[in-house]
């Protein structure tokens, strides 16, 4: 079912897909605009999150996000939704942006990723049951083109290629990063995640 071309949607399916899309995009809007109470309402009470810098409950993720010293706004390109009754998987194409200072030079860390949400309809309302990511590629670029960044390949050597720059920026801000997440440099982990998502959606 997952990653297959959608068939003809009933009016209720169209409404549910629109509601799921609105839910996950609103959750990211809340994250980027420090709307922590509203963000917490997007997650089910037993939800889980497994991304680069955080592994734990959905509500704990909101609390941890509120304490982060750096901003990490998202540019969202599109969101696809696969629905099966009261379950849905949403995959959002996005770029995570983090501005950091390296030896006095301002730089932007840009991380392209697929943000993956498992959602459930509970008591008539769609909620996020799980949030994960697949990391595609990232970069560090100076804010001013004429600036020089003192970041070498050895600085990134201990991190995964698909999210090395993101991991580097997190590490500089005192956060530990899970080095075993799905990314384009680990297609086996991507395939396993998609199998798990499909089994969950069809169960």
| pTM summary value | 0.95
In a domain, 2, yes or no: no
In a domain, 102, yes or no: yes
Distances (CA, A) of 106 to 83, 101, 160, 164, 174: 42, 4, 23, 18, 18
In a domain, 5, yes or no: no
**Cα–Cα distance, 127 to 119 (Å, whole number):** 5
How many domains does the chain divide into?
Answer: 1
In a domain, 4, yes or no: no
In a domain, 53, yes or no: yes
Q: Which residues contact 52 (CB under 8 A, 6 or more apart)?
A: 133, 135, 163, 166, 167, 170, 177, 178, 181
CATH, residue 146: 3.10.450.50
In a domain, 141, yes or no: yes
In a domain, 32, yes or no: yes
- The residue segments making up the domain with residue 166 are 11-202
User: What confidence score (pLDDT) does residue 69 get?
Assistant: 86
Pairing of strands 125-142, 105-122: antiparallel
**Average pLDDT per block of 10 residues along the chain, 203 residues long:** 92 98 98 98 98 97 94 95 98 96 94 98 98 97 92 92 96 92 98 98 96
3-state secondary structure of 161: helix
Per the structure block, which two tokens stand in for 108? 């932007």
In a domain, 1, yes or no: no
**Cα–Cα distance, 202 to 174 (Å, whole number):** 39
């Amino acid at each position: 079912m997952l990653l297959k071309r959608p068939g003809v949607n009933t009016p209720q399916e169209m409404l549910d897909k629109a509601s799921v899309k609105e839910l996950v995009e609103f959750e990211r809007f809340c994250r980027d605009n420090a709307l922590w109470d509203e963000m917490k309402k997007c997650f089910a009470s037993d939800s889980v999150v497994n991304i680069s810098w955080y592994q734990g409950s959905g509500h704990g993720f909101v609390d941890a996000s509120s304490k982060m010293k750096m901003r990490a706004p998202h540019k969202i390109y599109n969101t696809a939704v696969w629905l099966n009754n009261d379950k849905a998987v949403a995959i959002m194409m996005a770029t995570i942006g983090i501005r950091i200072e390296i030896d006095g030079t301002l730089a932007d860390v840009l991380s392209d990723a697929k943000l993956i949400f498992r959602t459930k309809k509970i008591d008539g309302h769609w909620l996020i049951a799980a949030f994960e990511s697949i990391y595609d590629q990232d970069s560090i670029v100076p804010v001013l083109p004429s600036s020089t960044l003192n970041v070498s390949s050895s600085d990134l050597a201990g991190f995964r290629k698909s999210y090395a720059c993101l991991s580097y920026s997190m590490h500089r801000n005192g956060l530990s990063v899970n080095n075993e997440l799905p990314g384009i440099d680990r297609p086996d982990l991507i395939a396993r995640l998609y199998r798990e998502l499909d089994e969950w959606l069809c169960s």
